[in-house]
Amino acid sequence: FGSSFRHPSRCILTCAFAPTPFVRQSRLQTTVITNMSSAQDNRDGNEPQAHMEPQEIAQETGTDLSKGLTSERADELLEEHGRNELEKPPRPSLAMLFALQLCSFVIVLLLIAAVASVVVNATGSKKDDPLSYTTGIAIFIIVFINASIAAWTEHKAGDALEALTKMSQATISVLRDGSEMKLEVPLLVKGDIVILETGDVVPADLRLLEAEDLKVSEMALTGEPDDVSKTWKVKSPDDESEKLTPENMVFSGCSVSNGKGRGIVTSTGMHTRIGRIAKLIEGDEEEKPKKKCFCLPDMTGNMTPLQTNLEKLGARIGVLAIVVCVIIFIVGVLLGRKDPSNPDGSSALYMVLISVTLAVAAIPEGIPLCVTISLSIGCKEMVTKHVLVRKLAAVETLGSASVICSDKTGTLTEGKMTLVKMYAAGQKYDVEGKGFDPTVGKIMRSGTSRDAGQDMGVRSCLLSGLLCCNTVLEQVKDEETGALKYEPRGNSSEAPIVVASRKAGFDETSFAQYSRVVEVPFSSSRKMMLTVCRVEGRQHLCQNGMPLDAGAKYMSICKGAPNYIIDTCKEVLNEDGSVSKMTEETKRELLEIVDDYSSQALRVLAIATRCMKEIPFDLEDDDITTDQKFQSCCQELRLIGLVASIDPDRDGVPQSVETAKGAGIRVVMITGDYLKTAAAIARNVNIIGKDDNEAQVAVDCTRLRPNEEYLNHQEMDALTRDTVVFARAKPEDKLEIVKSLQRQGFVTAMTGDGVNDAPALNQADIGVAMGIQGTEVAKGASDMILTDDNFTSIVAAVEKGRAIYAGIQKFVAFIMSVHIAEVIQIAFCIIVGMPVMRTPLQILFLILVTDLPPSIALGMEPGEATILKDKPRPKTEPVVLHFMWVSMVLNGLILSSIIIVVYILALMLECDGAFLQQDIESLANYNNHIMAARTVAFISLVWSENVRSYTSRSFDKPVWRNVLGNKDMQKAIVLAQLALYAAVLIPTFSDMILGLDGTIIGWKGWVMALAGPVAFLVLCEVCKFITAWQMRRYQRQLARQQPAPMKDCKSGDAIEQKTSFIQNENRNCQD
């Protein structure tokens, strides 16, 4: 949220943009209505649609309330009113990005150096020679080229991120042309009929037409933390005089926290209530946007932590470069160093030019560009691994992840549940088949092969379950094969019941015979769903079904967690249709059956009913809450049976879990399933290892909150330190688990899909939302989205994140070693009294033309095969580690030493054995001799840096290992070589501008240049032994810094007692 907290209305708008009303709740609650005159407007009736009948609103837009808009009319309204979007600040143009590049501290130093070069030459003896200005002009040109490339790259990266954003564009269900369809939110128009479900973010201002237990979080709009109940009925203005929003309207940016509804769009875009707040902010002159360089927008807020750190690193190096320049300037003036081409000139002016050369050599101008390219390309490549990165900073954090907390259904498992066993009316049954095809398989009594689909207990149990479902089974065409296949539409946990019901002879037409009058949707707190259906006039539930109580008009059906439902049952159905009391012995037997099914990794649901002569409340009374309805109907139930479904493991998940463990990442499963079911599945996917003590590593989440209050921090941390399975978890448990792990120093990734998962996703270091099953609220709170909901994609993303970060470290080390070498070479020449090895223009050409392509290639370096065997890096770890600094300095010294030797030998070869400037100046035509020696050193340096590009691909592995593994590197080296030969062989450009000439050095010069990279390769590989030793020591240090498992912790008796408590509680826990 940044500085927007200083303005309440700005804060509210930011929430709506997210759209994540759950984010930072405690801070939001203190910032709301103080700056909102619209709060009073709410009471003044400025929403006239709230007091209009739906038909009146529909007439304005030509909407058919039963069929929705036609496509043609929707297109007309879209053209008339525009897209359903808030006005956003325009993206910086390419010209603006170019101007921003010129404001970089590093670039400013280069511009100062260019100006200094021009000024010195303009006041010197060669002021009339146009070629004397080539250095300054060339610096300007190269800075222009660098800024252009950086601006273009950033612009394209913005395009790529915008494309990724569109891939995860929010959609909503609407009614058009008489059919329900998914529509992108920006295409919504006034008059559309919108269908809302739990987890949706309201896409526009709506007048409700239907509302079933609908509750909306309006905190993004009003700041009120409590969910607001909604109705479709028209209320009088007097009834709503004290309410901030009308009860029969929902507003854009708010999230549906419970129930479902249907509404007609009354306002879109800037005409919505949140849009009106946006207009207020546009007129807010109190706080102006931050500016950079007096007039340009400050874009530093969009930088990732890595980019910020590297920007600071570049600035520190720039300051250091200034200090070095000043020192060398003073030393040069005191030693009387003069320009070889103008021996009579001023030493001070010459040393200004040398300082310019040093500044150019010291400043790492290529790092920001390479980082931008690496991050943008990395995000695009992650799409191929089914990961959409919403925040660039997540790419960096992925490499630090030490715990992955994952949901089970659809992430670790396929999410295609199949009913395989059931218990009904005192008998056990097996169900054949796999997937959603109801024509495959049959229902059999356990131990037999006889079709038992017509047994009273089977039909009663499955029909009861079907009447408490909202899922339907449809035949759709497979996009790949064109064949028809069955697919469920609705809740995945209900699909097994629907499919098995078909096998028993029931289908969706059964609903019409039992009209539903009450529905209480499933909630994570109740762990149950309840419906009430009409059964008036029936003696039996169905043909071959259980008998109904005499005079029964309604039947209450409850479906959900076995332990919850069994506790509410007073009776149990017998095989002959009679009922018996639910005794403690019966409960124990039933729980043993649940345990047996759960130990087979089956998910168990219980189904219970209650016959009623009358509904125990007034259906027309809107003041009765959902909980009151539930409590009044969920009493004295009769247990009909249990259904047990299996959700197969996703392919590759067990291997990915093992890979994560090898990478030092603990995988934690958090599920609403029964403890034994969760533990069995965790063993199947290797989350619980062969040697793990299940009683210690798998716990029921009631242990987190005995007496409905969470444990204190010390006890909570002791419980979560070793646990890898949390069963029967509520969404709020996820938040407490994440906080506990973070207190212990773990960097946590958390998956989530529901509206109530948003706080945990926001709290986690990496929030991961599901792309298929995830709600818009969960996606809005996340850092990245899994487009296939697959756990293996998380591990693949971690691997890619580590590879991207490692690539950035490699090219930073490469660039820095090159700059260190350049500074050492120039400083050595000045101190010893040799002709300066190269000009500022030559240095810029080296860095930006021959060094930049290999640097970019290093940023795209594939991850090393062992990258997932390293320990996670600490989140606060600097980009350049100690062993990297050692490697950079050693390589810089080796490169400098070799090139200096090559240069000295070249000077001696070209200058009759002389290498000091004062001796060379006595030779005839000595400037050509110096040019030849510089050319030899230049060629040797380029070749050596190309060798360095290959050795930089690994800090500790030999260069010949997978030497051609990076195809981009081969392209970069070819480009660098072409640039080299253009620099030394093209007439005028080489000799007149760059001051190089490859045609005058002869074969001896080329051979001498070749000696440099050969020697450099040998010495660099020797240095890797030192770096490898330091890396191993660093990994051991990281391992010691990892939070210790509780079994290894020596913190005292309290933790030992807690461990004993957990084990004893799990042994005694029957549910």
pLDDT for residue 756: 64
Task: Provide the pLDDT for residue 1058.
Answer: 38
Q: Please tell me the least confidently modeled range out of 75-89, 283-297, 332-346, 355-369.
A: 283-297
The pLDDT of residue 293 is 55
List, for residues 426-457, the tens digit of each pLDDT value: 999 999 987 788 888 899 999 888 889 999 99
Which residue, among 458, 513, 515, 467, has the nearest Cα to 494 in the 3D structure?
467
Q: What is the pLDDT of residue 167?
A: 54
Give the helix, strand, coil percentages of the chain, each rounded to 5.
Answer: 50, 15, 35
Say how far apart CA 920 and CA 262 lie, in whole Å: 90
* pLDDT value for 1043: 58
Q: pLDDT at residue 1053 above 70? A: no
CA angle, 826 then 827 then 828, to 5°? 90
pLDDT at 910 exceeding the cut of 80? yes
Torsion over CA: 763, 767, 773, 774 (sign): positive
Sheet with 725-727, strands from edge to edge, namely: 387-389, 784-786, 766-770, 748-752, 403-406, 666-670, 725-727, 698-700
Give the residue with greater pLDDT, 523 vs 976.
976
Least confident of 22-26, 280-284, 636-640, 775-779: 22-26
Residue-level pLDDT at 111:
80
Q: What is the mean pLDDT of residues 653-669?
A: 90
Report the pLDDT value the prediction gives residue 874, as an integer from 0 to 100: 78
* DSSP strand pairing (249-250 vs 205-217): antiparallel
**In this predicted structure, what is the pLDDT of residue 148?**
80
From residue 854, alpha-carbon distances to 186, 628, 883, 949, 951 in Å are 42, 69, 22, 6, 11
Inform me whether the pLDDT recorded for 563 exceeds 50: yes
Average model confidence (pLDDT) across the chain? 80
Read out DSSP for 183-198?
EEGGG--TT-EEEEET
pLDDT tier at 269, thresholds 50, 70, 90: confident
pLDDT category at 304 given cuts 50, 70, 90 is low
The stretch 298-326 carries a mean pLDDT of 70
Q: Quick one: pLDDT at residue 901?
A: 94
Q: Of the candidates 369, 144, 143, 311, which has an alpha carbon nearest to the alpha carbon of residue 844?
A: 143
pLDDT for 574: 93
- Rounded CA gap, 590 and 642, in Å? 9
pLDDT for position 284: 45
pLDDT exceeding 90 applies to what percent of the chain?
25
Give the C-alpha distances (Å, rounded to integers) separating 721 from 45, 403, 760, 1048.
54, 11, 18, 11
Catalytic residues: 407
Q: Which of the two residues, 734 and 314, has the higher pLDDT score?
A: 734
Question: With 60 as the cut, is the pLDDT of residue 1059 above it?
Answer: no
Q: Confirm if 862 and 803 have CB atoms less than 8 A apart.
A: yes
Q: Give the integer Cα–Cα distance in Å for 771 and 411.
A: 11
Q: Taking 70 as the threshold, does the pLDDT of residue 289 lie above it?
A: no
Averaged pLDDT, 878-906: 89
Q: What is the mean pLDDT of residues 760-776?
A: 81
- Tell me the pLDDT band of 106, cut-offs 50, 70 and 90: low
pLDDT tens digits for range 112-141: 777 877 887 777 666 777 766 776 787 787
Q: How confident is the model at residue 584 (pLDDT cuts 50, 70, 90)?
A: very high
pLDDT higher at 556 or 807: 556
Higher pLDDT, 1052 or 953: 953
pLDDT score of 161: 55
* 739 token code pair: 């906080």
pTM score of the predicted model:
0.68
Higher pLDDT, 194 or 365: 194
Q: Residue 8's pLDDT is what?
A: 33
CB atoms closer than 10 angstroms to residue 789: 24
Whole-angstrom distance, CA of residue 107 vs CA of residue 110 = 5
Q: What is the mean pLDDT of residues 416-424?
A: 90
| Burial class of residue 876 in the structure, from the number of CB atoms within 10 Å of its CB (0-12 exposed, 13-18 middle, 19+ buried) | exposed
Least confident residue range of 181-185, 425-429, 486-490: 486-490
Q: Which of 709, 749, 753, 714 is nearest to 733 (CA)?
A: 709
> In this predicted structure, what is the pLDDT of residue 175?
92
pLDDT in tens, 373-396: 777 777 778 888 888 887 767 777
